Amino acid sequence: MENNIVMEKIPAEKFRFVNQDERIHDKKFDDKPIGYFKDAWIRFKKSKASVVAAIIILLIFLYAFICPLMIRSHSATFMSNLYAKKPGRVSWLKDIGIADGGMKRNFSERGIQSKLAIGVGAENYDGNHNVTVSEAMESEYMPMIRYKETDQGYTGRIDTYLEVGFIYRSIEQAEFQKIRDWEQETGLRVLYPLIADNEFTYAFDKTDANFWYKVDAKGSPVRVNSNGEVKRISLKDDMKFEDNYLRDDNGNVLYYIYAGGGDQSTAQYKIRVLYYNYFQYLYGHEPDYILGTDAQGYDMALRLAGGIKLSLEISIAVATMNFVIGTLYGAVEGYYGGTVDLIMERISDILWDIPFIVLASLFQIHLAAKVGPIPSLLFVYILTGWIGTASLVRTQFYRFKNQEYVMAAHTLGARDSRIIWKHIYPNTLGTIITSSALAIPSVIYQESNLSYLGIVKLGSSKVTSLGTLLSDSSGIWTNYPHLMILPALTISLLMICFNLFGNGLRDAFNPALRGTEE
């Protein structure tokens, strides 16, 4: 069968003349070559989980280095043991119920009376201001934020910083005058009357400066009537505490007593102070800790930043050592092979079979005292940490060393060093980078475990680790959950994000996916 082909004539108006230098086409094509790293970046961006993980890692990294710069009132070495294990508190936020330093607790009647008495005592600074509990609830020094009666007693929320209340101190006479001058300058009261040592003093602990009021042998507040009758008073009566202040023969309260010393400059005074204001006198600022304090009384935000920084520094240092040592060792093994490879592999096998935790313990026992715990830990990784990277590099060199381009380089007389680093090594770079990135969460986990178990001791006034923070909180976290939650959450984020980030790098640097759309 013949096909009838009809030739259709194209009208002349469909044509136009083209200038000699003019280029015409229907679609503009981008003919620029894409480099290896640009192509990897394009593929990395397609993994949303890896991008989010990278952002979280960056934010944690920025927190570790920026937080110490933003908290200017005190340094990471600043500690107040009376404010240990406290939740977060920020003075200008506490009035709206945010970061108020409060904790929810249950109280017995005697227990809540002792807490309410702190606020009352702060207002009764001279023995003449006998305010009631309801009146003292408006005081800025009242530790009880709110409370209510229950079938089992009382429940309420208490400001744990104001809960410290009053303490005794021994100071020089000159210091006493400085406190007086500071009180007049700021309008804040630091010095409070001393407590008499008599039958109404709290029987179980006479060193407790918070029992400024008259109590019976069981610690319950009492009132002495004009006829000498002692009557226990109840919280339900909107009670007024009767003070038990130390007074002179004229009935004036005493703010200090002589406690020893020679002359005017060395004489020691025993005083009783409201610690919240005494803290401001000593350090020039209120006790503000945005994330609270740790088990020793250090700023938790700064300790957490220091722990993150230390973990990142150790892990990055180890990853760098793994990268350098593992690359050199594995390249020699994989390129030369034969007897060289056999001997080097046996050395690696011997080192690999040594338990890491045993090696770390031995180094900490015998080396840490001389060079410090951190260099000792790095020595452990120098000894064994690079073996995994070396094995990967060795495998990649065996894969590529017999390729045609390598044989061509041999034929043209290229030196071994040039063939290793110019022809074979670039093809292994993606695998090595991925391995180094995935080594970071592994090191963080190992370091945290060693610190938590006490094998590596990284806790001091100057430095701490996330594992040390976990270890310090292990026995008390049920009562102070923030001590465990914050470092545990940080370690979890670092582990998860670095693994997701490493997986993204693995796919991005995979030569088999180069140039693909997905």
- Backbone phi, psi, residue 461, to 5°: -70, -25
Q: Which residues are within 8 A (CB) of 318 and not within 5 positions of it... i.e. 6 or more apart?
A: 378, 381, 385, 439, 440, 443
User: What average pLDDT does range 270-274 have in this prediction?
Assistant: 95
Q: Are residues 264 and 388 in the same domain?
A: no
User: What average pLDDT does range 41-56 have in this prediction?
Assistant: 89
Q: For residue 266, is pLDDT > 90?
A: no
What pTM was computed for the model?
A: 0.80
pLDDT grade, residue 516 (50/70/90)? low
> For residue 229, with 0-12 CB atoms within 10 Å meaning exposed, 13-18 middle and 19 or more buried, which class applies?
exposed
Q: Which residues are within 8 A (CB) of 212 and not within 5 positions of it... i.e. 6 or more apart?
A: 117, 121, 124, 166, 192, 193, 195, 241, 243, 244, 245
Cα dihedral 406→409→413→419 (10° resolution): -60
C-alpha distances (whole Å) from 305 to each of 26, 60, 65, 91, 370 are 58, 9, 7, 22, 27
> CATH number, domain at 503?
1.10.3720.10
pLDDT for residue 515: 53
Domain ends where: 236, 254, 288?
A: 288
The structure tokens listed for 313 are 């520094």
User: What average pLDDT does range 486-495 have in this prediction?
Assistant: 91
Total of domains in the chain: 2
Q: For residue 231, is pLDDT > 70?
A: yes
pLDDT for residue 459: 73
* Sign of the alpha-carbon dihedral angle for 162, 168, 169, 175: positive
Highest mean pLDDT out of 21-30, 145-154, 256-265: 145-154
pLDDT grade, residue 421 (50/70/90)? confident
Specify if 58 maps to a domain: no
Q: Are residues 232 and 347 in the same domain?
A: no
Q: Are residues 458 and 501 in the same domain?
A: yes
C-alpha distances (whole Å) from 509 to each of 51, 54, 491 are 15, 16, 27
pLDDT for residue 456: 83
Q: For residue 199, is pLDDT > 90?
A: no
Q: Are residues 319 and 280 in the same domain?
A: no
Q: Which of 180, 214, 221 has the alpha carbon at shortest distance from 200? A: 214
Q: Coil, helix or strand for 168?
A: strand
pLDDT grade, residue 26 (50/70/90)? low
Specify if 414 maps to a domain: yes
User: What average pLDDT does range 142-160 have in this prediction?
Assistant: 90
pLDDT for residue 15: 66
Q: Are residues 241 and 365 in the same domain?
A: no
Q: For residue 225, is pLDDT > 50?
A: yes
User: What average pLDDT does range 229-245 have in this prediction?
Assistant: 82
User: What average pLDDT does range 336-358 have in this prediction?
Assistant: 90
Per the CB < 8 A criterion, the answer to whether 137 and 119 are in contact is: yes
What is the chain's mean pLDDT, rounded? 85
**Least confident among 62-71, 202-211, 401-410:** 202-211
Domain ends where: 288, 310, 331?
A: 288
Specify if 278 maps to a domain: yes
Q: Are residues 187 and 272 in the same domain?
A: yes
For the chain, what percent of residues have pLDDT higher than 70? 90
Q: Are residues 449 and 316 in the same domain?
A: yes
Specify if 83 maps to a domain: no
- Backbone phi, psi, residue 129, to 5°: -105, 80
Does residue 238 or residue 83 have the better pLDDT?
A: 83
Specify if 14 maps to a domain: no
User: What average pLDDT does range 251-272 have in this prediction?
Assistant: 84
Q: Are residues 441 and 353 in the same domain?
A: yes
pLDDT for residue 106: 92
**Least confident among 24-28, 46-50, 484-488:** 24-28
Q: Are residues 218 and 308 in the same domain?
A: no
> For residue 492, with 0-12 CB atoms within 10 Å meaning exposed, 13-18 middle and 19 or more buried, which class applies?
exposed
User: What average pLDDT does range 227-246 have in this prediction?
Assistant: 83
Q: Are residues 130 and 206 in the same domain?
A: yes
Specify if 43 maps to a domain: no
User: What average pLDDT does range 452-456 have in this prediction?
Assistant: 84
Specify if 423 maps to a domain: yes
Domain ends where: 237, 255, 288?
A: 288
* pLDDT tens readout for residues 170-180: 998 889 999 99
Q: For residue 14, is pLDDT > 90?
A: no
Q: For residue 20, is pLDDT > 70?
A: no
pLDDT for residue 518: 47
Q: For residue 335, is pLDDT > 70?
A: yes
Its domain, for residue 256, covers 89-288
User: What average pLDDT does range 490-509 have in this prediction?
Assistant: 86
Specify if 57 maps to a domain: no
* Residue labelled with tokens 């940490």: 385
**Least confident among 28-32, 407-411, 462-466:** 28-32
pLDDT for residue 17: 64
Q: Are residues 452 and 374 in the same domain?
A: yes
Alpha-carbon gap, residue 310 to 315, rounded angstroms: 8
Q: Are residues 164 and 249 in the same domain?
A: yes
pLDDT for residue 38: 79
The structure tokens listed for 433 are 């980078």
